[in-house]
């Protein structure tokens, strides 16, 4: 394969650099006011730019309002490094039960914060090397051909979709990623007269909304004589341009709908345990 697919997402790519912090000299009341103002449930305690502790909302329970944070903060703080891989952060957060980790440099100075939401976002709709490799091998096996994978920029207005709909709630996440420069490459099959979008429909629709004209892609060139099932299905479904893809702003992800329905059935006494 001609494309390099060994890159792993790092903390520096997903962390939030603007962090609400407190001082050891702040009081419990100060932090309660900060919780009310920001909606956060915990903050790094910083002194002279260095992380010296962490204070959580639960740690303030039954504490006097005028008590200093230095007396109630936790000094046993789990932190992340900017070069740490997100997969490692996921393990730390999962095993420790923490919802967020301060990000520090080698001197212990605060550089940002990474949360469990950032971990989830880093894994959603990622174009893994395995996904591209599987497509390559499938095409080679089914059509008895050899194909290459190349990395290049494609014009999204030239893409032919193979997915009839996308979800508005997922688009919000993709738009956020694009604004921060975090979007993964899309996957495209190229014929002489068309670019067939295989993976990345949410990313492409999000890019169109932001006025982005081109995107990084893994491209697999094949001959026009190769007839693809996905291409035939797309044509029969009336999918010719990205404008033909429907955005379902009235629906959530199917799994969310199933969960809501099961919960409603349970509340109405309709759930049959063991069924």
Among candidate residues 94, 91, 99, 27, the one with its CA nearest the CA of residue 65: 27
3-class SS of residue 255: helix
Which of the pair, 230 or 125, is modelled with greater confidence?
230
Class for domain 126-248, per CATH? Answer: alpha beta
Written as one string, the DSSP assignment of 224-242 is TTPPPHHHHHHHHTT--SG
**Domain positions in the chain:** 11-122, 126-248
Q: Would you say the CATH fold of 126-248 matches that of 11-122?
A: no
For 11-122, CATH number?
3.10.580.10
* pLDDT tens digits, one per residue of 50-61: 999 999 999 999
State the pLDDT confidence band at 193, using cuts at 50, 70 and 90.
confident
pLDDT above 90: residue 249:
no
* pLDDT tens digits, one per residue of 199-226: 999 999 999 999 999 999 999 999 999 9
* 13-37: b (≥16 Cβ within 10 Å) or e: ebbeeebebbeeebbbebbeebbee
Output the pLDDT for position 147: 93
* pLDDT tens digits, one per residue of 66-111: 999 999 999 989 999 998 988 888 888 888 888 899 999 988 899 9
Output the pLDDT for position 79: 92
State the pLDDT confidence band at 255, using cuts at 50, 70 and 90.
low
The token pair at 251 is 């629906």
Please compute the mean of the pLDDT values over residues 221-245 and round it to a whole number.
92
């Amino acid at each position: 394969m001609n494309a390099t697919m060994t890159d792993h997402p790092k903390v520096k790519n997903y962390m939030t650099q603007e962090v609400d912090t407190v001082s050891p000299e702040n009081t419990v009341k100060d932090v309660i006011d900060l919780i009310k103002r920001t909606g956060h449930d915990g903050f790094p305690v910083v002194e002279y730019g260095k992380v010296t502790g962490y204070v959580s909302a639960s740690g303030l329970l039954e504490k006097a309002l005028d008590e200093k944070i230095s007396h109630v903060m936790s000094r046993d703080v789990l932190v992340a490094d900017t070069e740490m891989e997100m997969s490692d952060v996921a393990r730390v957060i999962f095993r420790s039960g923490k919802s967020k980790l301060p990000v520090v440099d080698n001197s212990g100075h605060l550089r940002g914060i990474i949360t469990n939401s950032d971990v989830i976002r880093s894994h959603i709709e990622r174009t893994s090397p395995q996904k591209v490799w599987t497509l390559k091998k499938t095409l080679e096996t089914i059509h008895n051909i050899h194909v290459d994978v190349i990395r290049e920029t494609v014009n999204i207005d030239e893409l032919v979709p193979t997915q009839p709909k996308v979800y508005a709630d997922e688009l919000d996440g993709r738009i956020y990623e694009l604004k921060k420069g975090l979007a993964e490459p899309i996957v495209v099959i190229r014929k002489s007269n068309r670019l067939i979008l295989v993976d990345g429909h949410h990313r492409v629709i999000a890019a169109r909304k932001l006025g982005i004209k081109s995107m990084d892609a893994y491209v697999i060139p094949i001959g026009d004589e190769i007839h693809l099932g996905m291409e035939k299905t797309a044509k029969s479904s009336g999918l010719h341009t990205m404008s033909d893809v429907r955005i379902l702003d009235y629906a959530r992800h199917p799994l969310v709908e199933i969960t809501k329905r099961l919960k409603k059935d349970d509340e109405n006494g309709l759930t049959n345990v063991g069924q």
